[in-house]
Amino acid sequence: MPRRDTGTVVADRYVLGAVLGRGGMGEVRRAHDRRLDRDVAVKLLDSPARQVPEALARFEYEARAAAALTHPNVVRVYDYGDDGDCVYLVMEALSGRTLGDEIARGPVAPHRLVEVACDVLAGLAAAHARGIVHRDIKPGNVMVADDGHVKVLDFGLARQFRMPGGDQAGLEGSTILGRPLGTANYMAPERVLQGPLDPRSDLFSLGVVMYEMATGRLPFAGASPAETVTNILEQQPVPVTKLSPARSMHLQKIVMRLLTKDPDGRYQTARELQEALGAPASKRTLRKLLRP
């Protein structure tokens, strides 16, 4: 990708600003949409990645999947295109930090843990209702705005799953036979084994995130990626309350059920998990979640 300094204009419209983040395929820059006079975030695909059909397909699918969702807990996509030397994706500009940054400060307060989980679930419920599995739920893909509002980001690994009663799976996102894409620590066992697409794998990943928020540790982390995968497939995590005695048994039961190896043993839908967490929360449910 050609050098793009601050002030460079993409697609004769988006004036690039500071770098917000970089990844294996490109970078995200703050920008200003001079046509609509508003700040945005622009994700740019590196030139080498453009030559890889898999990478280009993932980038395009991210745009299509996120654009199909209009929900307050999902980042909004405004535009997608190719200006000749780069492919770009334009999203709403968010001011805040990732959930990963918040967790790095220490275990998350009980009431905040429930709030974040419920917000992520609301976004996932909207995606699942449209037949979309996110496939990469992790703290780095959850944005916490300055006002505490939570949004799910990065649908680059999302895929369409077969809806009940439907005969078409629709356009699917990317995968590589024999090599599941995503972050190993947050993968459900069926994702590791490349089983059928299933929204319950997103709930497993959220269970890992909730465990990490509650304890400050990952439930299956190993000394190597191979050991992590083995742990996901074969080992049971240390109970939440053993690592964080102040956490409630009710929260522990919810998290441990989410981390069940067999999808049939988990909560079956985002809505079902929302009800278990009490969204909208009743005083009785909150007391069970927050007390030791």
Q: Which residues, including other chains, have CB under 8 Å from residue 84's CB and lie 6 or more apart?
A: none
Q: Which residues, including other chains, have CB under 8 Å from residue 2's CB and lie 6 or more apart?
A: 47, 85, 86
What's the distance, CA 277 to chain centroid?
19
Cα 134 from Cα 265, distance rounded (Å):
20
The phi and psi torsions of 183 (rounded to 5 degrees) equal -105, 115
Cα 38 from Cα 34, distance rounded (Å):
7
Catalytic pick among 33, 46, 136, 154: 136
Q: What share of the chain is helix, strand, coil (3-state, %, to 5)?
A: 40, 20, 40
β-bridge partners, 31: 16, 40
Cα 9 from Cα 91, distance rounded (Å):
16
Paired sense of beta strands 159-160 and 132-133, if any: antiparallel
Known catalytic membership, residue 85: no
Catalytic site positions: 136
